[in-house]
């Protein structure tokens, strides 16, 4: 009873912190979140939708669908994956604004990459569709920059190092609200 309430409170604040600028939660905290979710119904909203499954096994393909909209939001800010999985990720731009004003991509950075540094350099790289050629070593996987109504599916292997990775949209001004956690498990 009391323990559950506490767990739920902890869970709620962690979920909120995932969507903000704070550093990714440590693995132990993340496990707390998942345990709490199993016991306690968590109010779901578009931004808290979680992709990935506890039942997934290495060798599986993990299908992920993410929408990006004119409000500069992804439909998910958290993806859970296992080492050995292949990710088939579809990004769909469901907005209506022109690509030049509201383009979106999905870019996964390597573990330990400097998120702020990459994001601030990427927004200047207009000639590279905001994916700077000299910083591709920081990128695990990415979609193209998509205009309204466009979608793209990319396939990549889950990185072989467990832990938190960050993803973002590199279109100028978007990474503040278009970012999330890609969590890799053993
Ligand atoms: Cu965007």
pLDDT digits (tens, 9 = 90+) for 100-126: 999 999 999 999 999 999 999 999 999
Distance (angstroms) between ligand 1 centre and the Cα of 83 equals 27
Q: Please write the tens of the pLDDT for every residue from 32-48.
A: 333 333 333 334 443 34
Q: Please write the tens of the pLDDT for every residue from 5-30.
A: 433 434 333 333 333 444 444 444 43
Nearest one of 107, 88, 90 to 174, comparing CA atoms: 107
Distance (angstroms) between ligand 1 centre and the Cα of 176 equals 10
Q: What is the pTM of this model?
A: 0.72
Nearest one of 159, 175, 38, 58 to 118, comparing CA atoms: 175
Asked if 106 contacts 80 with a C-beta cutoff of 8 angstroms, the reply is: no
Distance (angstroms) between ligand 1 centre and the Cα of 28 equals 31
Q: Please write the tens of the pLDDT for every residue from 148-175.
A: 999 999 999 999 999 999 999 999 999 9
Q: What average pLDDT is seen over the chain?
A: 80
Distance (angstroms) between ligand 1 centre and the Cα of 170 equals 7
Please give the Cα distance from 154 to 100 (Å, whole number).
Answer: 22
Distance (angstroms) between ligand 1 centre and the Cα of 171 equals 5
Confidence (pLDDT) at 59: 73
Average pLDDT over residues 121-138: 97
């Amino acid at each position: 009873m009391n323990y559950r309430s506490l767990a739920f409170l902890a869970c709620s604040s962690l979920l909120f912190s995932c969507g903000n600028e704070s550093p990714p939660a440590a693995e132990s905290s993340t496990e707390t979140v998942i345990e709490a979710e199993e016991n306690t119904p968590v109010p779901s909203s578009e931004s808290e939708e979680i992709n990935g499954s506890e039942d997934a096994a290495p060798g599986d393909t993990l299908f992920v669908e993410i929408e990006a909209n004119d409000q500069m939001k992804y439909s998910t800010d958290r993806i859970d994956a296992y080492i050995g999985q292949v990710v088939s990720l579809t990004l769909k731009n469901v907005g209506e604004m022109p690509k030049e004003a509201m383009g979106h991509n999905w870019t996964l950075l390597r573990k330990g990459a400097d998120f702020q540094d990459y994001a601030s350099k990427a927004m200047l790289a207009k000639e590279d569709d905001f994916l700077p050629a000299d910083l591709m070593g920081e990128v695990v996987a990415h979609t193209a920059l998509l205009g309204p109504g466009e979608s793209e599916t990319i396939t990549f292997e889950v990185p072989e190092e467990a832990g938190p990775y960050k993803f973002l949209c590199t279109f100028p001004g978007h990474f503040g609200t278009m970012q999330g956690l890609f969590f890799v498990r053993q």
